Chains A and B, each alone.
Chain A
Amino acid sequence: MPQVTLSVNGKSHTVDIEGRTLLVELLREKLRLTGTHVGCDTSQCGACVVHIDGESVKSCTTLAAMCEGASVTTIEGLAKADGTLHPMQEAFREYHALQCGFCTPGMVMSAVDLVQKHPEGLSELEIREGLEGNLCRCTGYHNIVKAIAAAAEVMHGKRETIAAAAQ
């Protein structure tokens, strides 16, 4: 059986796979990292978004075999080891940007990439457009947009804390 060796959340794994194994299957079924979700089969919903080498990708549309040597970050690896939440996670909580939580891991991972790619800041419209690859059925997105704007301020050092950005 083919194998792939990759780093997930800073830890190296060598995993038996089939040629057809998707990255999301490797994460959920082989490594039991079930925070990454599958919400569709047409690459539309973004519940499966993870980072490969720092960039957001849809793990349901990525072959595991193509991740040889890759560094993958999932929602489980976003907070610090001591449990301190990433500013994006904190902002989602502060702004009630999640309800059922199913789209949330993918939404957060996409949002982190979006903010990292825009050190100059993001307008509301840019945030909305930047979420094109993620569907949420619960929130109507409004609070997600607000959370990302606040997290961006903290991630880019314009505010100390999410609470300060929420003022």
Chain B
Amino acid sequence: MNAILPFEGIGASVKRKEDLRFLSGRGQYVDDINRPGQVYAWILRSQYAHARIVSIDTTAAAAMPGVIAVFTSADMAGIGGIPCGWQIHNKDGTPMAEPKHPVLAEGKLRHVGDPVAVVIAETRSQARDAGEAIALEVEALPAVTGTTEALAAGAPRVHDDIAGNLCYDWHIGDKSMTDAAFARAEHRVAFETTNNRLIANAMEPRSAVGDYDTTTGEHTLFTTSQNPHVIRLLMGAFVLNIPESKLRVVAPDVGGGFGSKIYHYAEEAIVTWAAAKLGRPVKWTADRTESFMSDAHGRDHVTRAELALDKEGTFLGLRVHTQANMGAYLSTFAPCVPTYLYATLLAGVYSTPAIYAEVKAVFTHTVPVDAYRGAGRPEATYLLERLVDVAAKQCGFDRIELRRRNFIATDAFPYQTPVALEYDSGDYFSTLNQALETSGWAGFEARRAEAAKRGKLRGIGISTYLEACGIAPSAVVGSLGARAGLYEVGTIRVHPTGSITVLTGAHSHGQGHETTFAQLVCDKLGVPVAQVDIVHGDTGKVPFGMGTYGSRSLAVGGSAMEKAMDKIIAKGKRIAAHLMEAAVEDIEFDRGTFRVAGTDKTKVLAEISLAAYVPHNYPIDEIEPGLEETAFYDPKNFTYPGGCHIAEVEIEKETGKVSLINFTAVDDVGRVINPMIVEGQVQGGVAQGVGQALMENCVYDAAGQLISASMMDYAMPRADDLAPVSVATHVTLCTHNPLGVKGCGEVGAIGSPPAVINAVVDALRDYGVTHVEMPATAPKIWSIIHGSTL
């Protein structure tokens, strides 16, 4: 029986269980769900970056064909604002500024896309037709969209009561120790950069369906969410005042998230509230243009950094001053992104002894900014890995040797950084060496010379990165301002005949949990993957959970499952001991088989589960019938994936067009459960990182209009924009979770942007270029090559 099982366990590239339904058109995404009697919501959004509402007249709209209701904030009295899930404290200990984020605009419009009113009608088209009949009179006001500009004296205020648009002024690290390091340094290297604003653009636009059962008073929300329990908590407790017992949130198949579907959005509250108010199910689905102006954006940092080095190149100190754009309101996790997910990562893979970082978060008249794949870590990695290259060039060090000199030694773990984190494991030398070899780094100059003959400038760039996943532990994040715990929940339900249902609080929206998690169960309990079903995304079925983001699902959610399986095994041993008339201590368990140690007496899991559910011969006085266990796992620490990315690019001199030629990733993601899925995650992450480096840019004009407001102007990477990505892993195990896993969802997006830009700068080495801002578009490169100031 066990002969075939190892091939489906940990380390096997099992084909995905979820693929059949997706490949045959039988996925169930939110917009695929239709409830009896369903009506449609259309949301009138601000076309102004900043305006005062003079009047809203909905009379004409309400009289349009098919219209059931038109609502504005006046109709939603008693509804709470959208809460923020993280409170940062200023340097002086006072809490950050936290303005109200109304579901529908109250008095003022603060960004293009700010929801103003909602029309509910029998059809989508009727709702939209009527929406255009709403008479909205406003007084347009001056707006500010730039991060630095918003902090300048005299900038228009986003919120009347928040002076200087400052959300918080926060810092971390030892300033005097860092200043002292600079005072004695041989080299001081300064670097300024802007981390470009991005839009996640998951292929499935956000959607929400609200339903209400008048007989039970139960609300149901189907929503495109990465974390349905979090939405239930935030919306139920803070916005609509619905107890958890009366609010079911379902996130069915979700078409990608990349962070943008973590947050609680106004539309979720609108459809839930309106469904109850009208007694009809209400569906809202964004069109893509709406996504651009209502999904939380990502990144948008302006940073000035300085690195102090001694004569030999040893890093002595790092000073960082960052301004982070929050947008008009605080999205769910926005405040923690440029602080605890960014500044704490500024040691990177280096043993820099003194680090001090200041971060100012600022309100602007733009869409709220929150976590986007990587969240803070890409910003830190980009800054560091560019800075190291700039330092190497300025001070005359080899860029590889400078990195090696400053790597945290492989035997130095656990390693305490000067910015709060304690790394548990890593081996940066091995990932570097492996990537250098795979990429053919040593032979690069010949390839550069060959490219030159074709009129191309070829460059190679490297990034040795580190990131932090599975944000935790709850007590620590609580002390840092998190308003939720960051554990995960897993239930293992062994059915009477031995098949298994797993309930997990993690949510899969592309990650392949239905396969990877089944492999964990297969590996530990010896049940074939086909007989293990993973249930997720439904607060009506799964006890609790914090969802999927920050590459936490396996490290935290998988660990909860491991703990629940430990409980199953422990109970199973007691049942087995009873059945085989042995002492519990003498029962051994291995992949589905309970054995009396040193004998050939065995019982398989299915026999134990049958006994548990048909307890005729059963230790009923000692243990309860049934075989189902739940575990909550609260991690002891973050996990710390890391690795080395190498990009090779060519620049066409005539046009400035940059082409990615090849990409090498060697990542330490801890133990690999499904290599095929890990490789896919890295490839997808790299594609997004390359997109940030070369193509993607969210642009506002000075008046606050979103210029890159559709896929006609926001450049999404396509198949022919990318190149083959070589993915390999070098494993060091996480030391503090039972699986030894670290996380693989974000490494690609974190490690790759600086590798690409370092390659672009290298390609331009003959032009005296020290830096190119992202995205490295053709006109930008052309203007450098042609010495122009266009």
Contacts and interface: CB of A to CB of B under 8 A. Distances in A.
Q: Do chains A and B touch in the complex (CB under 8 A)?
A: yes
6 contacts: A41-B288, A93-B20, A101-B255, A105-B22, A140-B717, A142-B725
A34 B32 contact: yes
B204 A104 contact: no
Interface residues of B, number: 59
Interface stretch (A51-59, A63-71, A122-130, A152-160): A122-130
Given A75-B24, A128-B719, A144-B719, A138 B711 contact: no
A137 interface: yes
Interface stretch (B178-186, B401-409, B565-573, B680-688): B680-688
Given A96-B677, A98-B22, A102-B204, A131 B720 contact: yes
B720 A129 contact: yes
Give the size range of A's interface with the partner.
35 or more
A127 to B, nearest CB: 7
B540 interface: no
A-B residue pairs, 7 tightest by C-beta = A35-B25, A102-B255, A101-B22, A140-B687, A100-B510, A99-B510, A75-B25
B23 interface: yes
Nearest to A77: B25
B23 A139 contact: no
Interface string B719-755: 1101011000000000000000000000010000000
A137 B719 contact: no
A133 to B, nearest CB: 9
Given A99-B684, A100-B203, A40 B711 contact: yes
Contacts of A8: none
Best-surrounded residue of A38, A40, A76, A94 (most CB of chain B within 10 A): A40
A37 B255 contact: yes
B311 interface: no
- Majority secondary structure of chain B interface residues (helix, strand, loop or mixed): loop
A57 to B, nearest CB: 17
A101 B18 contact: yes
B298 to A, nearest CB: 13
Contact of A135 (B16, B258, B679, B718): B718
Contacts of B287: 38, 40-41
Given A47-B203, A99-B512, A100-B204, A40 B288 contact: yes
Interface of B: 15-16, 18-29, 31-32, 34, 125, 200-205, 253-256, 258, 287-289, 509-512, 676-677, 679-681, 683-688, 710-712, 716-720, 722, 724-725, 748
A140 B722 contact: yes
Nearest to B725: A142
A93 to B, nearest CB: 4
Interface string A82-122: 00010001001110101111111100100000000000000
B720 A102 contact: no
Nearest to A90: B23
Given A105-B25, A139-B684, A42 B711 contact: yes
Given A39-B288, A138-B256, A92 B686 contact: no
A145 B29 contact: no
A85 to B, nearest CB: 7
Contacts of B29: 34, 37, 102
B256 A35 contact: no
Given A45-B203, A79-B24, A131-B719, A99 B686 contact: no
A44 interface: yes
A139 B685 CA distance: 8
B676 A96 contact: yes
A11 interface: no
